[in-house]
Amino acid sequence: MIRETVIKVENLNLYYGKKQALNNISIEMYKHNVTAFIGPSGCGKSTFLRVLNRMNDLIDGVKVDGKVIIENNDIYSPDIDVVELRKKVGMIFQKSNPFPKSIYENVAYGPRIMGIKDKNKLDEIVESKLKQAAIWDEVKDDLQKSGLSLSGGQQQRLCIARTLATEPEVILMDEPASALDPISTAKIEELIHELKREYSIIIVTHNMQQAARVSDFTAFFYLGTLIEYDKTKKIFTNPTVKQTEDYVTGRFG
């Protein structure tokens, strides 16, 4: 099977002021696959995720060197438009963060800022994306209700619909289910499985079962270093590195 690379990272280092948080990371992630980042907290997996759509730019004193190549462009080269990048690489956060607007307006927000004004077109996008995020049936009768009136799991799926509406190629998910109950978590995982057909997904999780369930590839991070990266099956059954084995078998973490 020939896999197409969607993101290629070469020799990436990241510093918070003087402190180095990510250490010479090189990794290739593939189209229409789910890649999971695992590792103990503070290992740099979330920081690395935020490297991929430059959300780290918002934090003072962060410096990055190395290359992150998406569609033949280094996203850290000076002529790249961060705004365009973030439309292409969407993000779902740990804590669901709908805007204090209606459900409809939440989903329509992305298309609107891209200049779509036609009401029919917007209606169409909102419906299709809510359907894609598997929440349409639950909200179709009250699209004008505040996004914040939904339950935690629904809010997270609304955020996913909102991200889908900007037509991204890659979706980054930062522990998207860590604040949710088991049933909502199952729904999100199911959704990830569905979305993989059209999008490439990279998910950070502290839950190893989740990584094993949803991902095709798994990267194990420890102390800012990428320890091992392979097919998920291999990582969980027959890891090459001792540290990975210790972690996935629960000996530390």
Partner 1 sequence: MKQKTKWLGYLLFGVTGLCTLLIVAALIYMLAEITVRGGHFFTWEFLTANPEQGMTAGGIFPAIVGTVLLVLLMSIVGVPIGTITAIYMVEYAKNDFIFMKLVRFAVNTLAGVPSIVFGLFGLGFFIQFIGSGIDKVVSTDGHLVWGQPNILWASLTMALLTVPVVIVTVEETLRAIPNEYRAASLALGATKWQTIRKIILPNAVPGILTGTILAIGRGAGEVAPILFTGVAYFLPHLPSKLSDQFMNLGYHVYILSTQSTDVEATKGLQYATVLVLLMVTFSLNFIAVIVRYFMRKKAIQ
Partner 2 sequence: MSEYLASIIIKSVAFVSFAVILLIFVFVFKEAIPQSTGDGTKVAQEELQSESYGDDISGAVDNTVTEVKTKHESEEGVQSIANLTGTEWQPVSLKPKFGLLPLFWGSFKVTLLGILMAFPLAVGAALYSITFAGRGFREILKPVIELLSGFPSVVIGFFALTTVASAVSSFFGVTYRLNAVVGGIALAITIVPIIFTVAEDALQSIPKHISEASLALGATKWQTAVFVILPAATPGIFAAFLLGFGRAFGETMIVLMATGNAATMSLNIFEPVRTLSATIGAEMAEVVFGDTHYSVLFLIGALLFVFTFSLNAIAEFWVRKRLLKKFQGSA
Please give the residue ranges that form the binding site for partner 2 (CB under 8 A).
53, 55, 58, 60, 83-88, 90-91, 93, 95, 97-101, 109-110, 112-114, 145-150, 159, 162-163, 166
**Contact partner, 87, from partner 1, partner 2, none, Cβ < 5-8 Å per class:** partner 2
Shorter beta-carbon distance to partner 2: residue 16 or 99: 99
Q: What is the CA radius of gyration of the chain?
A: 18
Torsion of CA 168, 171, 172, 176, to 10 degrees: 130
Query: Cβ(36)–Cβ(244) under 8 Å?
Result: no
Shorter beta-carbon distance to partner 1: residue 59 or 113: 113
Q: Which of 115, 120, 137, 238 binds partner 1 (CB under 8 A)?
A: 115
The verdict on 82 binding partner 1 (CB under 8 A) reads no
Q: How far is the CB of 152 from partner 2 (least distance, A)?
A: 10
Measured over the CA atoms of residue 238, residue 240, residue 246 and residue 247, the dihedral's sign is: negative
The verdict on 113 binding partner 1 (CB under 8 A) reads yes
**Contact partner, 146, from partner 1, partner 2, none, Cβ < 5-8 Å per class:** partner 2
Query: Cβ(63)–Cβ(20) under 8 Å?
Result: no
**Contact partner, 33, from partner 2, partner 1, none, Cβ < 5-8 Å per class:** none
Q: How far is the CB of 96 from partner 2 (least distance, A)?
A: 9
**Contact partner, 115, from partner 1, partner 2, none, Cβ < 5-8 Å per class:** partner 1
Q: Which of 63, 114, 142, 231 binds partner 1 (CB under 8 A)?
A: 114
Long-range (24+ apart) CB contacts under 8 A made by 75-83 are 82/54, 82/57
What does the buried/exposed string (b/e) look like for 108-126 if buried means 16 or more CB atoms within 10 Å of the residue's CB?
A: bbbbeeeeeeeeeebeebb
Inter-CA distances, 129 with 63, 137, 158, 191, Å = 36, 12, 9, 12
Q: How far is the CB of 248 from partner 1 (least distance, A)?
A: 42
Query: Cβ(202)–Cβ(173) under 8 Å?
Result: yes
Please identify, among the stretches 71-79, 107-115, 127-135, 208-216, the one whose residues bind partner 1 according to the rule CB under 8 A: 107-115
Query: Cβ(82)–Cβ(104) under 8 Å?
Result: no
**Contact partner, 99, from partner 1, partner 2, none, Cβ < 5-8 Å per class:** partner 2
Q: How far is the CB of 115 from partner 1 (least distance, A)?
A: 4
Reference 234, options 223, 247, 245; nearest CA is 245
What does the buried/exposed string (b/e) look like for 210-223 if buried means 16 or more CB atoms within 10 Å of the residue's CB?
A: bbbbbbbbbbbbbe
Q: Which residue ranges make up the site for partner 1 (CB under 8 A)?
A: 81, 84, 113-115
